[in-house]
Amino acid sequence: MVLIGFFAFSSMMLGSLFRKYVLIFFHQSIYYCQQVIDGLPIRLPNNLGEASLMVFLVMLMYITIKLVATMVKTSKIGRDLSASTVRSPVIKRMAKKLGLQNKLSVYLSDHPSAFCFGFINTKIYVSTGLVNILSEIELEAVMRHERYHLENKDAFTCLFASVVQTMFPFFPVISDVSKRYRILNEVEADRAAIRGMKNSKSLISVLKKLLSHDHKNTFNFAPSLGEWDTLEYRVKKLVNQKVERRRSPVTNIVVSLVSLVVLVGLSLSQVTAFEYHNGGGDAILLCSKDKNCTNICESKVVEALFSHI
């Protein structure tokens, strides 16, 4: 809910900014504000329009490339998983026992891992490396853990969080919120597995085995059993050890607050921009603080403006 609310709020602010200031980015003309500049027309520096436009285009290009890269990577992972699927009698029995028929697949990989993947037809994927190192009761604990993610559509939620982070890189605190959510989400999935197993021994054993293997995150836009950033925290929770609450770095908070103040300030500004075309077809870019000023600009002030030119 926090991510959705932030996404909606930031999108509205950016939309307001685009509507108000898009003319400034694309014009080499007069920028006129009667109430701000006491009625005196001023000319923008020659390169200010290009600089503003360049910053905007670079940010837009960065966001677009990141989003496309995420889509390409997601598609490639889906194809690789489909191509490497293998049969496993143990997993087949497990799927039938837990009501996961057609929702549970084993893929060929030496690295022990289990995760939910897919945003239309979501499935649980378990690697052969994980099947080989776990007992059947430990595998059941894993399946119950992943079933929680499957039922709560966490694969889609993680993808949405990744997209929000990509679209708003000037708010680094979003990444901290997303990481916190992933940790708490894994803890809830652990609790679901413990309720199904009636004890925590099997799950603790699974996590300890994962900790003994090399660090290798699957990917950051799907809930994964062995995500390295969550393992130590979860093990401490399961064995009732004291866990320090993770806080967002001060730098991330400061940068996010500054970005928020700038974004809200520009969005709430009463300045609006419009074009005026003279008889020769030349475009003049004007701005005003309210409707009355706009009306003045459209009549008497325009004449004074042309006299200055």
> Do the domain assignments include residue 104?
yes
Q: In the chain, where does DSSP find H-type helix? A: 2-25, 48-83, 89-98, 128-133, 136-151, 154-167, 173-197, 201-211, 228-238, 250-268, 291-296, 302-308
Q: Is the dihedral of CA 115, 106, 203, 194 positive or negative?
A: positive
Task: Determine the average pLDDT of the residues in 6-29.
Answer: 66
> Do the domain assignments include residue 99?
yes
Strand order across the beta sheet in which 114-117 lies: 85-86, 104-107, 123-127, 114-117
For residue 88, give its domain range: 84-252
32 has a pLDDT exceeding 70: no
DSSP letters of 6-64? HHHHHHHHHHHHHHHHHHHHT--SEEEETTTTTT--EE--TTHHHHHHHHHHHHHHHHH
73 has a pLDDT exceeding 70: yes
257 has a pLDDT exceeding 50: yes
258 has a pLDDT exceeding 50: yes
What pLDDT sits at residue 129?
A: 92
244: DSSP letter: P
What pLDDT sits at residue 304?
A: 46
Asked if residues 140 and 94 have their Cβ atoms less than 8 Å apart, the reply is yes
- Using one digit for the tens of pLDDT, what is the confidence trace for 136-186? 999 999 999 999 999 998 888 888 888 888 778 888 888 888 888 888 899
What pLDDT sits at residue 295?
A: 46
Domains: count for the chain: 1
Q: Is 183 helix (H, G, I), strand (E, B) or coil?
A: helix
Percent of the chain scoring above 90 in pLDDT: 19
Q: Which two tokens stand for residue 222?
A: 């799907």
> Do the domain assignments include residue 128?
yes
What pLDDT sits at residue 142?
A: 94
217 has a pLDDT exceeding 90: no
> Do the domain assignments include residue 181?
yes
Q: Which of 10-24, 27-41, 159-173 has the highest mean pLDDT?
A: 159-173
CA–CA distance, 226 with 178 (Å, rounded to integer):
17
What pLDDT sits at residue 299?
A: 46
256 has a pLDDT exceeding 80: yes
Q: Which candidate, 292, 307, 308, 239, places its Cα nearest to that of 34? A: 292
- Split at pLDDT 50, 70, 90, the class of 235 is confident
> Do the domain assignments include residue 154?
yes
How are beta strands 123-127 and 104-107 bridged, if at all? parallel
Which residue has better confidence, 294 or 102? 102
45 has a pLDDT exceeding 90: no
